[in-house]
Every structure is written in C-alpha cells, then in structure tokens.
Amino acid sequence: MTEHQLPPLNGLRAFEAAARHLSVKNAADELSVTPGAVSQLIKTLELHLGVDLFRRVNRGIFLTDAGQAYLPPVRNAFRQISDATRRVAVPPETGILTVSATPFFASAWLVPRLKSFQDAHPDIDLQVLTGSALADFSRDGVDVAIRHGLGRYPGLSSRRVLTVEIVPVATPALVKRLGMPATPADLTRWPRVNDAERKGWALWFQAQGINDTGPARGPSFDDAGLLLKSVLAGQGAALLPLAVVASEIAEGRLVQLSDVTWLEDFAYYLVYPESSEARPKVVAFREWLLEVARNAPAAVAAKRASSGGRKRSSPTFKGKASAPSS
C-alpha cells in the first residue's frame, strides 16, 4: 500500500457491515447490494491492505487477527464522520445552544438558575456539558464556554461573569506541623497546590502586597474537586472557592489560613469565538447570564464556616459582571 493512500471507502463500508453481522448476506441487505458485490469490495480492500481481514469457513466468515485490530478504528471513524455530518447539517441557529462549563460552576451556580433562562427564551434548548479544559469550539460543537481563570484567551471573546470568594486552606495536620501563619507572607514558605495556570497564588500574594514569591512549585490541577482532594491528602495549602470548602472547614477537615481576598482578575468568564459575538443564541445567553450575575450576588447557598472565631457575612459568589476582559 502506498504511504498515506486512503483505502477505498466502499470497501471499508462493506468490511464494517460484514464484520458487524459476521455475514456477507446480511451486510449486502444493509448496503442494498448483492452478496457478490460485498465479497468483491472486501477482496479489493484486502488487496489494498495486503492482509486477509476474514477467514472463510464453509458458509460463514470470521475476523482474522488483522480484521479484529482493524475494525475498532474503522468503526470509530465512521461514527465520527456521522457525528460531524449531523452537526454540519443542522442549521447554526436552531434551538439548541451548547454550553460547556466547569463541573463546580455548572452544579452550584448555573443549573439552579436555568429555569429563568428557559422562561425567557423557550425557543432555545440548552445542552450543558462539563469540563475544565478550554473547549475546542470548531471541533467539540460547543457554542459558549464558562471557565475559571484570567479571561485571556487569544482569538476568543470573553466576558467576566463572577469573581469568587477565594480562601487559603490546609489540613489540620499540616497546620500543626508548620504552625498557623501569622501573616500572609508566612505562606510563601509553605508547600502549595496550584490551579492549572499556576497564577492563583501569585495573584493572591500580590493582593496582600507581596510580590516576590518565587516560582509556583508543587502539583497543579485543572479542576476544583481534584485540587480539594490534593489538599485533603496533605500535599500543601491551596486557594479554593469558599463554597467548595465550607463544609470541610466547618467539620474540621480543613483550616482556613487567612481572611477572604477578592481576586478581581481571577474569575469565571464566558468565552466564545469572536465570530459568534452577534449570533442571536449567544447574545441571548450572554445577556441573561450577565444580568443574573449582576442581580444575584448571593449566588450559592453554602454553609458559612468560621476559622478561629472570625465571622464572615460576604456572599460566596459576588457578581462582578459584564465588562469584557483584556
């Protein structure tokens, strides 16, 4: 076979159907051709590949080792082509809007508010997917994404939605070993666990007037749940949304190491391709999301926790919405 030369498509279709049915006749019925045509197509494919894909025993067929290895990627390729065709064939302004959000934001903030969006836009059906990596808008079929970070995504538009109440936390065992930090600067000497961009701690220290903290050392995670597990395992101190760790603090599994600091740049952002700026579905969702964020500062009902008797009255989520990020 010549390098990079694709096998005949009809031969692949005949192979996949015959392998699925283990029957040339049934494959022929599915493809609306004769059994002889299916056999010829498979033979042409085998000659192209230089290997036998089936063993023919009496009137039956069985996959060879080469056929068994070849079938999964061929079947997956047909599935991907089918999915891509279905997405392309659907007009871009149908009633489905696909939103990708981080798991925590989707469950704690977005989903409880979706009814108001549906009431306002009954012609738009939301499909919510969860994930932490930035969506590939051209490949994943995602219309808009909501991500936690600095909001700087080359080639994409982003709008600040919410700034979260961030607190530094660690296990009681780590606090006992290192001592409760008297000042924020004490945490520069602690082992630390990082967000995926490794910028959260630097921003937090800068907010405290501490600029020289050295490189961000220690493990990093792109999901708040994984970050929490790392902290609970005693791997270091971490910055986490209070809504994520409120129960752990209240129950003594974690200790809050300092008072809350608002990180203005480190927030949840609505992200989408620049070409989607004026799409009606995207406009409707963007305006609804930013309006809800402005008018619902107490966005997540999290159990309030205290550390060392300190009381907190600020909301777990605070709306800081609508201005485009740089």
pLDDT of the residue at 311: 34
CATH of domain 163-264: 3.40.190.10
Residues near 245 by beta carbon (within 8 Å), at least 6 away in sequence = 167, 169, 228, 254, 256, 305
More confident residue, 204 or 32: 32
Q: Return the structure tokens found at 136.
A: 């590939």
pLDDT of the residue at 219: 87
> pLDDT tens-digit profile of 78-104?
888 887 776 666 555 567 899 999 877
pLDDT of the residue at 86: 67
Residue 70 has pLDDT above 90, yes or no: yes
- Weakest mean pLDDT among 75-84, 171-180, 268-277: 75-84
Pairing of strands 96-101, 144-149: parallel
Q: Closest by alpha carbon to 192, among 234, 225, 161?
A: 234
Q: Residue 23 in 3-state DSSP?
A: coil
What percentage of the chain exceeds 90 in pLDDT? 45
Q: Give the pLDDT band of residue 322 (cuts 50, 70, 90).
A: very low
The four Cα atoms 218, 223, 228, 234 give a dihedral, to 10 degrees, of -20
Question: What does the alpha-carbon distance between residue 36 and residue 25 come to, in Å, rounded to a whole number?
Answer: 9
Residues near 146 by beta carbon (within 8 Å), at least 6 away in sequence = 99, 100, 101, 102, 105, 106, 110, 161, 268, 269, 270, 271, 289
**Side chain identity at 73, as an amino acid letter?**
P
Q: Return the structure tokens found at 196.
A: 């995926």
pLDDT of the residue at 115: 93
pLDDT of the residue at 218: 81
Q: Closest by alpha carbon to 21, among 12, 9, 30?
A: 30
Question: What does the alpha-carbon distance between residue 128 and residue 117 come to, in Å, rounded to a whole number?
Answer: 13
Residue 261 has pLDDT above 80, yes or no: no
pLDDT of the residue at 258: 86
Q: What is the DSSP letter of 234?
A: T
pLDDT of the residue at 316: 35
pLDDT of the residue at 87: 63
Question: What does the alpha-carbon distance between residue 160 and residue 321 come to, in Å, rounded to a whole number?
Answer: 5
Q: Which residues of 2-17 are buried (b: 16+ CB within 10 A; e: fewer)?
A: eeeeebeebbbbbbbb
Q: Give the pLDDT band of residue 205 (cuts 50, 70, 90).
A: confident
Q: Where are the domains of the chain?
A: 9-89, 163-264
Report helix angle 9-21 to 35-49, nearest 10: 110
Residue 298 has pLDDT above 50, yes or no: no
Whole-prediction pTM: 0.52
Residue 271 has pLDDT above 50, yes or no: yes
pLDDT of the residue at 317: 36
pLDDT of the residue at 105: 83
Q: Which fold has domain 9-89?
A: Arc Repressor Mutant, subunit A (1.10.10)
- Weakest mean pLDDT among 112-116, 149-153, 191-195: 149-153
CB 12 within 8 A of CB 74: yes
Question: What does the alpha-carbon distance between residue 73 and residue 80 come to, in Å, rounded to a whole number?
Answer: 10
Residues near 147 by beta carbon (within 8 Å), at least 6 away in sequence = 102, 132, 134, 268, 269, 271
Residue 235 has pLDDT above 50, yes or no: yes
pLDDT of the residue at 251: 92
Report helix angle 65-89 to 9-21, nearest 10: 110
Q: How far apart are the first and last CA of the chain?
A: 52
CB 105 within 8 A of CB 88: no
Residue 153 has pLDDT above 90, yes or no: no
